Structure formats: structure tokens, C-alpha cells
Structure 1
């Protein structure tokens, strides 16, 4: 059982993590100038995956990541993942799907940088921490506090398909 304070702390963590994903989506889509200049925005013909994946210069999957860098399917899957995970977290619904897909996305990004270059830890970096956060939020039903998770879980379709919680 979570205390009310712990449930609220998890809700804050859920919103903050959701904002990380939504911000990455918005910056890569519109080129807000933080990590993506407007000239390289997705709406201006830029590729949200090419810069990261084409510059992978370490690890056993280097050639694979170079092959998919900038492809239409990598761009669309990445951007839909950022948007979907961000929306699910901020709304507090579908946290199991968000945790599974977000963990898969973070694992892929971790592998693209493996071994973590310039890291003080050869195994754990922010990708692993984000994946752990996503899993904890889903397992703790963090969408029930300050979110739509409780109402979502009562929908007949969701009750029949518990993996949608």
C-alpha cells in the first residue's frame, strides 16, 4: 500500500517523466532550438533519428544503427513512441504499454551508446534510469493519483484487457 504522500510523489514523477518525452517530441518535430535547430526540425524535412544513430561510433550494433538511421520507419516509430509514452504518462493511462514500449526504446538507445561513452558508470546511465522509472510507475498504478488511470481502469474494454491499464 502506498501512502497518500508516496502516491503524490509518484504522480509528480509521472508528470515530470511524461514531460521529458513530450518535450523531446516537440523539440524534434518543431525544432525549438534546444537539441534540434529549426532547420533540422521534422516538419522542415529533418530526421529525428539520423543525427543520433548515424553518429553511433561504438558497440556491437554500430552497423545496424547506421543502417536504420534516418529511415522513414525509424523516424515514425521513434516519434510515435515519444508522443505516445509522453501522453500516456501525463494522462495516467496505458502505463503498462508506456512502460514496455519506453523500456524497449531506452534499451535501444542504451545499446546505441554502449559502452556509455564518457560515463562514470559502464552499465547504468540515464536510459536505464528512465526505463526503471517507467516500470515503477506502471507497477505502482501511478496514473490513479492526479491522472485518469482510475477511470480508465473501470472502462469495460480495459477491464477485459488488463494489459491496457
Structure 2
């Protein structure tokens, strides 16, 4: 065999060996990187579970809040919005109209049963985005009804009070599609009507 050929063959073997080491090193580095990602993946899964748990908690907590309010308003024959709305301050000119006898009974009915429907919707996780949106509207109305600017209710609440906090929680439930977490919205989204109608899908989330 000619010396040049042998020399070239030796160089080829060295290159193959070098490529093999480089490829093996890349595999090793990739495996090490994936191994390092395992704790991150586990943490992300735990965070996702925690997030779903918190969404479920806030949905049930807000649902119970509305249901408990409804229980006092529906089952107490003497309850009326008139006593509260007639004492509003900042927006008294607006709310006093609804406290007058012709409208007070209608508004009291709407408020009591509105609370009931919102509470049941949130507890069941059914049409959660719709009920939460109405809940946000009610919280803003109650915030203005309690307002004696810049205080809300009393001097312990400056500009903000729990109504705005509740409104923020309800907005979070809308954004996170809370009814899809252990709620009937998940079942409703799979029904043919929801599948074929984009408007219904948007309401469900």
C-alpha cells in the first residue's frame, strides 16, 4: 500500500473519531440540559395545579357570597332596596328614583333573584363569564351607591372598598374561563350547539 494512502486513511479515522466524540458530547450535553429542565417542568405543573385550585376557590367563594346575600333578600318579606338607596350620598339624585315606591319593589326583586342566579351560576360553573360580567356591573353600582366621595361607606375606605376587590376577582374569573375548571361550562362547550355557534362559545370561554 502506498504511504500516501495509508496516511490519508489514518487522517480519515482520526476525523471520524473526533466527530464521534463531538456527537457524543452533544448528546451528553442535551441529556444534561433535559435533566436540568425536569425540576422546571415539575414546578410548572405544580404552578398550573395551584392556579386551577385558586380559580376554583375564587369562583366558589364569590358564588357563596352572592348566594348568601340572596338568602337574606329573597326569604325576608320585609327586605327592600328602598331603605338603602334612599340614604345614598354622592349619587343620591340618581338612586333616590329607584327607592321610590313604584320602582322599589321591582328593583328589590331584580336584585334578590339576580344575586341568586349569579351565585348558582358561579357555584355550578355554568355560563360563568355571563354571570361574572353581571356581577362586575353590580359591584360597580354598589360601590357608587356606598360612595361619599372620596370615602366609600365610611372613612376607613378611601376611594376603594371591597366592592372593587370583588369586581377584580370576577374579572379574573372571566379572563381565566373559570367555568372550565370543574364546572359545567366544560361540558357545555362540548355540546353541538356550542360547537356550531361562535357566539355561544365566546360566552362559555
Alpha-carbon distance in 2 for matches of 1:72, 1:163: 34
Task: State how far apart, in whole Å, the 1-side matches of 2:83 and 2:54 are.
Answer: 35
Which residue does the alignment assign to 1:55? 87
Structure 1 consecutive aligned stretches of length 4 or more whose deviation exceeds 4 Å: none
Report the alpha carbon displacement of residue 74 of structure 1 after superposing the two structures with TM: 1.0
Structure 1: tracts of 5 or more residues without a match: 31-40
Query: Given the two structures, how large is their TM-score scaled by the length of structure 2?
Result: 0.67
User: Could you tell which deviates more after superposition, 11-20 or 115-124?
Assistant: 115-124
1:164 corresponds to = 203
Structure with the higher fraction of residues in strand conformation: 2
TM-score by length of 1: 0.81
Stretches of structure 2 that go unaligned for 5 or more consecutive residues are 1-43
Structure 2 equivalent of residue 91 of structure 1: 124
Distance 1:162 1:72 in 2: 35
**Alignment coverage as a number of residue pairs:** 150
- Cα RMSD (Å) of the superposition? 1.9
Aligned to 2:136: 103
Within a 5 Å distance, the mapping from 1:1-165 to structure 2 comes to: 3-30=48-75, 41=76, 44=77, 46-56=78-88, 58-59=89-90, 61-69=91-99, 71-114=104-147, 115=149, 116-159=152-195, 160=197, 161-165=200-204
Q: Is the 8 A contact 2:122 2:132 kept in 1?
A: no
Is the contact made by 1:98 and 1:134 (CA closer than 8 Å) also made in structure 2? no
Q: Which has the higher contact order (CA 8 A, sep 6+)?
A: 1
